[in-house]
Amino acid sequence: MRLEELGEFGLIARIAEAVGAGHESVVVGIGDDAAVIEPAGAGHLLVTTDACLEGQHFRRQWLTAQQIGWRATAAALSDIAAMGGEALAVFVSAGLPPAEEATFAEQLICGIHEAATEHGAALAGGDTCASPDRIYLDIVVVGQAERPWLRSTAQLDDVLLVTNTLGEAAAALHLLEGGLVENADGLPPALRHRFARPTPQFAVARCLQQLSQPLCAIDISDGLVQDAAHVAEASAVALTIQASRLPVAEACREVAVQGDVDPLQWALTGGEEYELLLAVPRGLVEQACALVEAEGVKLTEIGFVAAGTGVTVLDADGNEIELDRGGWDHFASH
């Protein structure tokens, strides 16, 4: 059955049925003019929106409908994790071609719902409309944090830490764009999961909220160097990244060797990693590492905060590294 046969309200009814009751914080979910939320506790409320456009953020030949939904939702959830928060409710505005199979739309919503519930949030509402040619999604997440982590609080001599490993998303993109694999399911396992089913770092947020003070954090969605530049600007400091310390993923190195590419460039500029970059006072680093290690997450020291402006990347000898490109700008020609 096509969407134009099922109709807008038929689709919404199916979504509401699949989603069910949801979350204790969601008093009224799908089906009214707005959702009604009653956050537990006395935390600050967090709201983020993340747009995701076919051809721009994903290609349908690379990902299943369910993977597209999960990935778009994980990207939005990641912003809440980067604020040191927890997710309460997810909303989706979806533009879908009327001639599309209804099952495709349902699988897409299924991926969104799965990513939401896997990370403690309800799918609580949204909007649907007809898009003549391409799919677009806007994922909204409402969350809360007792002490939000901002980009603007990096202090002189803070240590820069990054979660887990880097470079997988760029390596996966290299294989897909070069036609070396047909779709995400054809990627090596270590890259497949990272590309098709990325994990927002809520475990890290939860652990490190136990520290004596809120951290400075950003998620790596535009590329490490560019996201570091956002922190430098917001905090009015300089960030120095020591490239030799970067936790470049083994799977990324392997693909880079085969493609005769420098894996460091991928780790420095690759977008859609969804790891966290943290600026942590030196006195808290040991405790921070121990806390997240208990959750199976590795924190790696990759640099420091200094006086000045901007981001400097140094090699093992302390010489500055020039980058091919800074990161991702949606309006620029790449």
In the complex, minimum distance from the CB of residue 7 to a copy of itself, in angstroms, rounded to a whole number: 5
Q: Which is nearer to a copy of itself, 92 or 228 (CB)?
A: 92
Interatomic CA distance for residues 16 and 11, integer angstroms: 9
Number of Cβ within 10 Å of residue 239's Cβ equals 29
Pairing of strands 136-145, 86-96: antiparallel
Task: Record the tokens describing residue 312, joined without a space.
Answer: 């400097």
Comparing CA positions, the residue from 122, 114, 292, 143 lying closest to residue 203 is 292
In the complex, minimum distance from the CB of residue 163 to a copy of itself, in angstroms, rounded to a whole number: 14
| Secondary structure class of 253 (helix, strand, coil) | helix
Number of Cβ within 10 Å of residue 217's Cβ equals 27
Q: Which is nearer to a copy of itself, 205 or 264 (CB)?
A: 205
Establish how many alpha carbons lie within 13 A of residue 14's alpha carbon, considering only the half-sphere containing its beta carbon. 17
In the complex, minimum distance from the CB of residue 130 to a copy of itself, in angstroms, rounded to a whole number: 5
| Secondary structure class of 216 (helix, strand, coil) | strand
Interatomic CA distance for residues 104 and 54, integer angstroms: 14
Q: Which is nearer to a copy of itself, 57 or 192 (CB)?
A: 57
Interatomic CA distance for residues 332 and 204, integer angstroms: 33
Q: Which is nearer to a copy of itself, 114 or 233 (CB)?
A: 233
In the complex, minimum distance from the CB of residue 100 to a copy of itself, in angstroms, rounded to a whole number: 9
Eight-class DSSP state of 42: S
Cβ proximity of 294 and 223 under 8 Å: no
Interatomic CA distance for residues 64 and 204, integer angstroms: 28
Task: Record the tokens describing residue 32, joined without a space.
Answer: 């009214």
In the complex, minimum distance from the CB of residue 153 to a copy of itself, in angstroms, rounded to a whole number: 10
Q: Which is nearer to a copy of itself, 17 or 286 (CB)?
A: 17
Number of Cβ within 10 Å of residue 183's Cβ equals 16
In the complex, minimum distance from the CB of residue 77 to a copy of itself, in angstroms, rounded to a whole number: 10
Interatomic CA distance for residues 332 and 223, integer angstroms: 15
In the complex, minimum distance from the CB of residue 43 to a copy of itself, in angstroms, rounded to a whole number: 9
Q: Which is nearer to a copy of itself, 187 or 208 (CB)?
A: 208
In the complex, minimum distance from the CB of residue 86 to a copy of itself, in angstroms, rounded to a whole number: 12
Total count of residues recorded for the chain: 334
Angle formed at CA 204 by CA 202 and CA 205, multiple of 5 degrees: 65
Q: For the chain, how long is the longest CA-to-CA vector?
A: 64
In the complex, minimum distance from the CB of residue 63 to a copy of itself, in angstroms, rounded to a whole number: 17
